[in-house]
Chains A and B, each alone.
Chain A
Amino acid sequence: MNDVMLDLRSDKIIESLKNGTRLDARKVDEYRNVSIELDISKNAEGSAKAKIGETEVIAGVKLSPGKPYPDSPAEGTISLGAELLPMASPLFEQGPPDENATELARVVDRGIRESKCIDFKDLCIREKELVWIAFVDFYVINDDGNLFDCSALASIAALKHTKIPKIEEDAIVKGEFAGKLKVKKTPILTTFAKIANAVVLDPNSAEMHAMDGRFSCASTEDDLFSAFQKGGRASFTAGDIDWCLETSLTKSKDLRKILKE
């Protein structure tokens, strides 16, 4: 669809939101269909594909032995990377991660890391010398909006099904595993778009084009928030944020159920 068509559709989205309706007939706090598929790659220690409506992201986890940071000698770590594949949208170009991919990776990272769902001490092999670094790389293969939530879902699903390789004389033994990676909580990221004065959950790509800004928050099953991120030109009122947080706590429970299945 070209720019003019997108702009015309944005006008339509804004117009219909004045009556509280969305073009795809969803309620303002309604999510699209979500599905998760596990074990996409045999070579990955954990992998998953998440789908929200037509948006699709595949995440894979690779564990590599590495040196710990000097200030946390008994802790491994996680490292998240985002790839916006050119196949996913006419707007994506080949090349190193741009600021959008960087922001995406860092927000998904914060939601998971700060929830303390993974105890980094579990990733220690030998204090001060060798720890596991869990590289979570997610590839956006179709962008129909809300990449934040979809990437977070794929990443946490992949991590929850990650096996830790067996290690002998500091080298990985191929095909053998020492156990599963312990993931104690399930942080869920939810994203809202501010379109004119309306706030809607899980924006699709047309709504993302029409929006002035977005707000994302990650929460855990014990109703704690582990990350916030406001992006875009829009401003949010305290009341907007309040509604987003409340909705997030409710909706993340549904998403967590899908992950458990």
Chain B
Amino acid sequence: MVGKKEELVYVDKHGKRLDGRKVDEVRPIKIEVGVLNRAEGSCYMEWGQNKILAAVYGPREALPKHIQNPYKALVNYSYRMASFSVPERKNPKPARREIEISKVCGEALEKAIFLERFPNTTIDVFVEIFDSNAGTRVAALSAASVALVDAGIPMKDMVCACGVGKAGGHIITDLNKEEEDADDAVDIPLAILPKTGEIVLLQMDGLMSKEEWKKCLEMGVKGCMQVYELQKEALKKKYSQIESTAQNNEARTEMVSDEKNSEGEFT
């Protein structure tokens, strides 16, 4: 704690926040694609202090059999926090908060995936938080979306998520823990499909007027779009690497065969 809550100025006269960010500035985000070799798709994300791993398995047979849906795939989304990822040790057993987050985030992904293509299967999405400082569910959902693309799951669109809200009377994007603890804090986890702007995740706690909501939505969507750009960039980076490796391999094979040709072994 830097100081007493009442003394904190959440946005100073230069428009700077406690951690020096602008009101609409998202914390630094780092995304790596394909970090776990056993999973079909995976993603490692750092979002400020938040550190998250997401992995996707499937579509694979949904078990036990009675949970299978003959019309579409199920999305089994599991959001979990490591016991050491929070200041006070967390009991590793999933808490009510984690169960609720898993439910709504899984439902947010369902809108984006062509579930009807994979009847009787489940698409398992596992996300684990290893370090946290507010906004973990939106970070996790953004990471999960990247992992789904990495797994080659057919999707209508990506899901990009960002937090927005209020602290000390100011509407701000991507609240950190200190801001979330403000007396008048409002926290809105938001996720959209970037192509259409449809809202697929929306929660809120705090006290807020309708006018404040309008401003929050506008800034939240902007935050989501920034995340979207970074998601795309990370995915492109991975596939451009694959492409260049493939080209190198091709070039090498050609070289080898040229050499062999010149030696006349195959002619």
Chain A residues within CB distance 8 Å of chain B: 99-100, 102-103, 105-106, 110, 113-116, 213, 215, 217, 220, 223-238, 241, 245-246, 249
Chain B hits for A110, CB < 8 A: 205
In the complex where A105-B96, A106-B97 touch, is A231 in contact with B199 (Cβ < 8 A)?
Answer: no
Q: Return chain A residues, CB-CB under 8 Å to B208.
A: 224-225
A238 to B73 alpha-carbon distance, docked (Å): 28
Query: Knowing A232-B107, A233-B110 touch, does A241 contact B202 (C-beta < 8 A)?
Result: yes
Whether A103 contacts B217 by the Cβ 8 Å rule is no
Q: Is the CB of B102 within 8 A of A235?
A: no
- Interface residue total, chain B, C-beta cutoff 8 A: 29
Question: How long is the Cα–Cα vector from A229 to B193 in the complex, in angstroms?
Answer: 17
A235 and B207 contacting across the interface, CB-CB below 8 Å: no
Contact check, A229 vs B96: say whether CB atoms are below 8 A apart: no
When distances are taken between beta carbons in the complex, the residues of chain B under 8 Å from A238 are: 197, 199, 217
With the chains together, A105 CA to B207 CA distance in Å? 19
Please tell me if the beta carbons of B207 and A102 are within 8 angstroms of each other in the complex.
Answer: no
B157 nearest CB across to chain A (Å): 10
Query: Known contacts A215-B202, A235-B199, A245-B210; is A102 also within 8 Å of B100 by CB?
Result: yes
Tell whether, in the assembled complex, residue A237 and residue B213 are in contact, meaning their CB atoms are under 8 Å apart.
Answer: no
Can you name the residue of chain A whose Cβ is closest to the Cβ of B199? A236
Q: Are B96 and A230 in contact (CB under 8 A)?
A: no
**Complex A-B: 17 CB contacts under 8 Å:** A102-B99, A106-B100, A110-B205, A113-B205, A114-B207, A223-B209, A224-B208, A225-B208, A226-B205, A227-B203, A229-B104, A229-B202, A230-B203, A231-B103, A235-B111, A237-B199, A241-B202
Top 4 A-B pairs, shortest CB-CB distance: A235-B198, A228-B204, A230-B202, A233-B110
B residues near A234, Cβ cutoff 8 Å: 111
A69–chain B nearest beta-carbon distance, Å: 10
Asked whether any CB of chain A lies closer than 8 Å to the CB of B11, the reply is no
Known: A233-B107, A245-B213, A249-B210. Contact between A227 and B205, CB under 8 A?
Answer: yes
Shortest CB-to-CB span from B161 to chain A, Å, is 12
A103 to B100, CA, bound (A): 5
10 A-B pairs besides A102-B100, A106-B97, A228-B204 with CB distance below 8 A are A99-B100, A99-B103, A102-B96, A103-B103, A113-B205, A225-B213, A228-B203, A229-B202, A232-B107, A237-B197
